Amino acid sequence: MSYKVVFFILIVFGLLAPRFAFSQDDDDPAIVSGMKALEENNYESALKIFNQYLASNPNSGKAYFYIGNVYLAQKKYDAAISNYDQAIKNGYTTSAAYCNFGRAYSAAGKYSAAIIELLRSMDADPKSPAPKVELGHVFTMIGDYPNAEDILNKALSADSTYAPAYFRLADLYLKQKDNVNALRVLTIATTLDSDNVAGFNTLGNLYVASNDTAKAMYYYRKAFQNDTNHVSAYYNLAHNYLAIKNYDKAVETYSILMQLDLRGFNNSLLFRERGLTFRQLGNYDAALKDLNFAIKINATDTTSYFWRGVVYFEMENDSMALKDFNHVLDIDSVYGRVYVYKGMMNRNKAEYEKAMVNLNKAVQLSPKDTIAYFELGNLYLDEDKYSDAARCYTKALDLNPNYKDIFENRGVAFYNLGYYRQAAADWDTAIRNNPALYNKLKPLYNDAKSKSGL
């Protein structure tokens, strides 16, 4: 089974949850009460408190400022911008007000306006790292990486323990595909802010990219230890288990994931992937159950139909397999891998002409499909067309040098062509990859070595 691994997400921009700049004089009981509701994500209650405060103090810039914070947290950027504007017009010209005004503009994609407000915030409080960090993020988003790095380092000069600066630096390095520096600063960031779940998740992804599965799993576990509902961490952990072929743990992790709040997540994808993991375990009933559910969620999901067809094929239920394969082609007539399996079905029935048509169609539609060339080579081998078989096997290896199953069969083709040295070399590789083949190949292998003078 081949998975296209989709991490959430290998490059993660915006590692920071909304962090609001607050003024230092927020000691009014009503404001404190509203802030508490905002920090608890109780937006309706926070808005009610702040609007009541505004009703009693109609010219209070502070009230508009905190109403803007609620809208910013809700990602209602136009409303946030409007309220921050009113806050400043009513005299609330603190660094925090300008900073959050700039953040709202930035979140809305209005970067020129964001830069103006963030510069005003820096003027209002030159020592604060917060506006520098946000300005660095804006520069990152518009692709001005030198200025982004410069201003973020200035933020760290102002406060070397300010975690948001490290997170924004990580964003910058990730966008530049500089995983080494991203890993370095993100490690510092999560040390300073050990509650940042997205940071741990991204560290896991970076270690996946550097092929360090053990550390990747460590950080994914850290992510959902801090947030047991962190969907991305569970998803990425499941894929790590797949990578090391621990299918039981992968199924277990998918099953936990499916109990979480999956709003905004592709549920069809989850059921399909767990179904394919059951397939790897040989549990075809469970695989079919999950694939059926994936199709129920998304009736046009050709990938789930295809894999269900594969499961039926492996169960030797050709009629059901063919039904799914043909349904895929009804939706997507150029789905090349379907023709591979149809050709394999034909070959199993000794329908060689039909198999040839389907497998040639497969390589025509998918000229980089290793499996298509491998199966076409197998068909030629069945027909004693050894030169054609060797050509297809070689093409398959060119496409994927790690496809180990090819060496045994290409050795057979070379042997029958009289290329004994090449045959012995292929069988030597096949046996090293799979020592269980030694007894099967030993007579021909020794004969090939003898005939080639090895």
User: pLDDT by residue (tens digit) across 27-56?
Assistant: 688 888 989 998 888 999 999 999 999 999
Q: How far is residue 182 from each of residues 12, 147, 166, 359, measured CA to CA in Å?
A: 11, 17, 9, 45
Alpha carbon distance 118, 116 (integer Å): 6
pLDDT digits (tens, 9 = 90+) for 220-250: 888 878 877 778 888 888 998 898 899 999 9
Whether the predicted pLDDT of 12 surpasses 60: no
263 pLDDT band, cuts 50/70/90, is: confident
The total of other beta-carbon atoms located within 10 Å of residue 22's CB is: 17
pLDDT digits (tens, 9 = 90+) for 87-99: 999 999 999 999 9
Contact by Cβ (8 Å): 95, 121: yes
Q: How far is residue 142 from each of residues 12, 102, 136, 151, 410, measured CA to CA in Å?
A: 16, 15, 10, 14, 52
Who has greater pLDDT, 407 or 29? 407
Tokens (6 digits) for 139: 């520069």
Contact by Cβ (8 Å): 243, 236: no
Q: What is the mean pLDDT of residues 131-159?
A: 95
Helices and strands, number each (H, E), in the chain: 25, 0
pLDDT digits (tens, 9 = 90+) for 315-327: 999 999 999 999 9
Q: Which amino acid is at 266?
A: N
Tokens (6 digits) for 352: 């060689």
pLDDT of residue 6: 36
Query: Which residues, at least 6 apart from 33, have a Cβ–Cβ distance to it below 8 Å?
Result: 49
pLDDT of residue 223: 84
DSSP string, 400-431: -TT-TTHHHHHHHHHHHTT-HHHHHHHHHHHH
The total of other beta-carbon atoms located within 10 Å of residue 151's CB is: 24
Say how many Å lie between the first and final Cα of the chain, rounded: 37
pLDDT digits (tens, 9 = 90+) for 289-305: 999 999 999 999 999 99
pLDDT of residue 322: 97
Whether the predicted pLDDT of 196 surpasses 90: no
Please count the residues of the chain: 454
Whether the predicted pLDDT of 23 surpasses 60: no
Whether the predicted pLDDT of 165 surpasses 90: yes
Which residue, 282, 280, 303, 111, is CA-closest to 291?
303
Q: How far is residue 61 from each of residues 43, 67, 119, measured CA to CA in Å?
A: 19, 10, 20
Who has greater pLDDT, 266 or 155? 155
Whether the predicted pLDDT of 171 surpasses 90: yes
Mean pLDDT, the chain, integer: 91
